[in-house]
Structure 1
Amino acid sequence: MSRHTRPAGRPRRAILSAEAIYRTALDLIDREGTEAFSLVRLAKALGVRMPSLYNHVHSREQVVHGVRVLLAAEIDWSSLGRLTWDQALAEWARSYRAAFAEHPNTVRLLATTPVRTPEVLDQYELVVASLEDAGWHPDQAIWILSMLEAFILGSALDLAAPEQMIDMPADATRHPRLAAAVQAAPASGRADSAFELGLLALLAGLRAQLHSQTRDQGGEAGGAVTG
């Protein structure tokens, strides 16, 4: 044996890491969807046996949370706590949608898995704090967060849909107004335009509701003083 040849045995470095497992899981989900995602398939994609996988992760749930961490890292949440609540939510929502638009197959998986990931809870904390500081009640802050997430994730899925979702027949006499609207819409950018319109409408409605609540609360306080 040459003195330069290292004896066989355990490699000096582990061939796996938790992050490598999470990234491979994300790639697997991107390629084949959530239905194909399992630890058995993941081990096969990594080229290792299950015991080697369990040296780094202890459950499928841990891998799912790891995938969530990877996507959370793609979301820019620097606007939260820096801009006004409505401006901050708009910027956060756009970045959130962009991150999931790159990985639409993860939406169903992550949207139905409870969130325990600190990196995501950090973002939620800032969203709720921003809303409460603006005058929203804590329960309303959670409702707004849930509403925005549902809208964002639905919009991310819409980006993966065909550009034109309404397929009008050649004879449109039965639906003339619909046919005219479809014809009037630009040939591209439907999903982006719909998202921006919906986001602006949601925020405008929230601003109006907050203004109404603040005005009513001010009137009640004034009445209590004068009474």
Structure 2
Amino acid sequence: MGRPRTALLNADRIAREALALIDGEGADAFSLPRLAARLGVRPSSLYNHLDGRAAVVEGVRRLVVAEMDTSAFAELPWPKGLAAWARSYRDAFARHPNTIALLATTTISSAATLTMYETVVDALARGGWPRERLVAVLTSVESFLLGSALDLAAPPLMIDTAEHAGEVPVLAAALACSREKARRADEAFETGLDALIRGLVAQRAELAVN
């Protein structure tokens, strides 16, 4: 019958299937043999399109990053651009919470991710942040965003004071009047994001004076 007119596999299909595997079964379920089985091929076939596991992980990262929006940096001052990007970042990882542990502990090398970071740090630099502080600012924001995305994926009852309410009365009372999970997570995110950006604005002002 000869060779098929279109390849059965390509890098994008492999990455999308890997993301589906991680979304559905967790990062611990991700392996090249497991991925190959889902695609109906031998593990060796993956190497014809991607250079091993790290390349597959970067393909997954590229797909998640593609759901983030950096366009506000071209139109808004860096604090507002940062807030808009932060919301899209958190939302992207909230849709794929199982990827966080994998992607946050794997070296970043994909062009799409590097381009996103370039957009962010370029906006910060244009806003007056010194070069030696750019990575610290980026990392502090990103750490908050990853934690906020995980908060959306947390169990509805994350802090249970039922058996110790008398020992932690202030905490128990605060939890009793907190909102239902989704609204609580959104409120916590907006509170933290506002505090983080206000703090960064204040730091930037101090740097300008000193």
Q: Shorter-chain TM-score category?
A: over 0.9
**Corresponding residue to 1:205 among 187, 196, 199:** 199
1:22 to 15, 33, 38: 15
Is 1:43 paired with 2:31? no
Q: Residue 164 of structure 1 contacts residue 190 of structure 1 at CA under 8 Å; is this kept in 2?
A: no
TM-score, length of structure 1 as denominator length:
0.87
Q: Once the two structures are superposed, what CA deviation does each residue of 1:40-76 show, in whole Å capped at 9, x if it has no partner?
A: 1111010111232222122111111111111111111
Specify whether residues 171 and 29 from structure 1 end up closer, same or farther in structure 2 by C-alpha distance, changes over 3 A only: closer
Aligned residue in 1 for 2:49: 56
Q: Tell me the amino acid that sits aligned with residue 194 of structure 1.
A: A
Contact 1:163 1:191 in 2 (8 A): no
Q: Deviation at 1:103?
A: 0.6
Q: 1:56-103: per-residue Cα shift (whole Å, max 9, x none)?
A: 122111111111111111111111232110000000000001001111
Indicate conservation of the 8 Å contact 2:78/2:123, yes or no: yes
User: For 2:171 and 2:44, how far apart are their aligned partners in 1?
Assistant: 58
SS state at 2:20 partner? helix
| Counterpart in the other structure of 1:160 | 153
1:77 to 67, 70, 76: 70
Tell me, yes or no, if the aligned pair for 1:163 and 1:190 is still in contact at 8 Å: no
Q: Which residue of the partner structure matches residue 185 of structure 2?
A: 191
Q: Does 1:32 align with 2:19?
A: no
Task: State the AA in 1 paired with 2:209.
Answer: R
Query: How many pairs are equivalent?
Result: 209
Q: TM-score, normalised by structure 2?
A: 0.94
Q: Distance in 1 between matches of 2:18 and 2:59?
A: 9
Classify the secondary structure of the residue corresponding to 1:61.
Answer: helix
1:146 alignment counterpart: 139
Unpaired stretches in structure 2, ≥5 consecutive residues? none
- Residue deviations 1:111-153, cap 9 Å, x none? 1111111111111111111111111111211101011111111
Could you say which residue in structure 1 is the equivalent of 2:165?
172
Counterpart CA distance in 2 for 1:100 and 1:113 is: 15
Q: Give the aligned CA root-mean-square deviation in angstroms.
A: 1.4
Q: Distance between the aligned counterparts of 1:99 and 1:171, measured in 2? A: 36
Q: Residue 5 of structure 1 aligns with which residue? A: none
How far apart in 1 are the matches of 2:41 and 2:47? 10
| Letter in structure 2 aligned against 1:64 | V
How many Å separate the matches in 2 of 1:121 and 1:145?
A: 12
Paired residues of 2:46 and 2:52 also in contact (CA < 8 A): no
Q: Given the alignment, which residue of 88, 99, 110 partners 1:95?
A: 88
* Mapped partners of 2:43, 2:162: distance in 1: 53
Q: Counterpart amino acid of 1:191?
A: A
Is residue 34–residue 106 contact of structure 1 (8 Å, CA) maintained in 2? Answer: yes
